[in-house]
Amino acid sequence: MRIQFKTSYNDDIRLFPDRWTLGVYTTLLVMAFALPLLIGEFYLGEVTNVLIWAIAGLGLMLLTGQAGQVSLGHAAFLAIGCYTNTILIEAGLSFILAFPLAGVITGMVGAIIAIPALRLHGIYLAIATIALSILADDIIVLLDPWTGGVSGKFPDMITIFGLEIERWSMPTRFYYLVLLVTILCTLFYRNLLRSPLGRAFAAVRDSEVSATAMGVHIARTKTKAFGLSCMITGWAGALMGYYAGAFNNETFSLVISITLLMMIVIGGLGSIHGAFFGAVVVAFLPQVLSILKGAVLGGGVAIPGLETGVFGMILILFILFEPMGIYGRWLKIRTWFELFPFARKDMFRRQKSYLKTERLR
């Protein structure tokens, strides 16, 4: 059993609460950096894909898991990030400027779109944001001169101070770029969690009435949540564009939005780990399925809708048996080992919630 001995308030603010966690995450980071030496190019590409999904997941997690606002429109923000980045580079900006700017612009668009969406709650917000996903497709076609419309766009090679990065010919360099962005986004997320804004998000998520009474401006806080979430999603979108090598109006469809939301639910809402666990499932499941299908039925047999069907099944099973997602299950298993043999079966059972103040206004 691990015992934390805290001697100053700073111990609760530090990135890593104790030496053990510091060790674990340092090892993880070292392994991530050494990964290109350990695995082949194909699998390195797959891991890169996982990381890009994880960044997108972090973006949506911030909005849904932290601030409690459901969005089924995040594919649109992936698209905005992707197209902005490409257009800025085509306009002559260098990647080192265009990429951060693409995220910031996506964030600002997200914040503006959030303003009418602020009055909506839960399922109504989800429905309103679906419209965004559907609209994005048409808008990309309409903006043909900038976006290339149906024929799409092919992002150029990335150049950072003369260093060339390309997904197909130099997967290792591209992997390191994605890894750096992932680390940065994770750090941003973690910093928010330990500062007043992150707590304001949680306050808005759990009780708008008392958040207001504590001086939290609900609309402003939600706008910030949308903005920050879309910024991170925009970066993921730009990287997705590079990863795919080509994109058009159909690349960022509603299905991507739904997959993203599913991903963070399966991973575990409200945790950084959840975004990563979910990304692993979403990125590897198609591969695992096709390998399994090949082993069972032999190659060449096509089963339409198999992937979506299995995804749906997994989601339903998670909601029924593990609403806290993979991360929740991981916590339970860890606690069982840490407390062995004192873990009790109902330690994680939810307390019944008490009466809620009737909605004001």
Partner 1 sequence: MSLLKIKDATLKFGGVVAVDDLSLSVEEGEIYAIVGPNGAGKSTVFNLISRFYQPFSGSISFDGQNLLDRSADQVADLGIARTFQNIELFDHATVLQNLLVGRHRHRKTSMVEELFFAPRVRREELAHREAVEEIIDFLDLQPYRDKMIAGLPYGVRKVVELGRALASGPSLLLLDEPASGLSVEETQDMRWWIDDIRKQMGITVLMVEHDMGLVSSVSDRVLALADGAKLAEGTPAQVQADPAVIEAYLGAGAV
Binding site for partner 1 (CB under 8 A): 9-10, 12-13, 188, 191-192, 194-200, 202-203, 205-207, 209-218, 224, 228, 270, 350-351, 353-357, 360-361
DSSP 154-187: -PPPEEETTEEE-TTT-HHHHHHHHHHHHHHHHH
Please report how close the Cβ of residue 320 comes to partner 1 at its closest, in angstroms: 20
Please report how close the Cβ of residue 142 comes to partner 1 at its closest, in angstroms: 33
Nearer to partner 1, 196 or 309 (CB): 196
Taking residue 117's Cβ as centre, other Cβ atoms within 10 Å add up to 20
Segments in the chain forming alpha helices (H): 10-13, 19-38, 41-61, 74-90, 95-117, 122-142, 144-147, 171-193, 196-206, 208-213, 218-244, 254-267, 272-297, 306-321, 325-339
**Contact call for residues 345 and 293 (beta carbons, < 8 A):** no
Nearer to partner 1, 42 or 354 (CB): 354
Please report how close the Cβ of residue 89 comes to partner 1 at its closest, in angstroms: 24
Please report how close the Cβ of residue 58 comes to partner 1 at its closest, in angstroms: 13
Which are the contacts of 353, defined by CB distance < 8 A and separation ≥ 6? none
Nearer to partner 1, 19 or 350 (CB): 350
Query: What CA–CA distance (Å, rounded) separates 51 from 278?
Result: 11
- Sign (positive or negative) of CA dihedral 300, 303, 304, 309: negative
Please report how close the Cβ of residue 32 comes to partner 1 at its closest, in angstroms: 22
What's the token pair of residue 138? 């048409």
Please report how close the Cβ of residue 148 comes to partner 1 at its closest, in angstroms: 33
**Contact call for residues 245 and 167 (beta carbons, < 8 A):** yes
DSSP 108-162: HHHHHHHHHHTT--HHHHHHHHHHHHHHHHHHHHHTHHHH-GGG-B-PPPEEETT
Nearer to partner 1, 299 or 357 (CB): 357
Please report how close the Cβ of residue 229 comes to partner 1 at its closest, in angstroms: 13
Query: What CA–CA distance (Å, rounded) separates 282 from 285?
Result: 6
Nearer to partner 1, 65 or 278 (CB): 65
Nearer to partner 1, 107 or 237 (CB): 107
Nearer to partner 1, 28 or 214 (CB): 214
DSSP 231-247: HHHHHHHHHHHHHHS-B
Please report how close the Cβ of residue 29 comes to partner 1 at its closest, in angstroms: 18
Nearer to partner 1, 48 or 223 (CB): 223
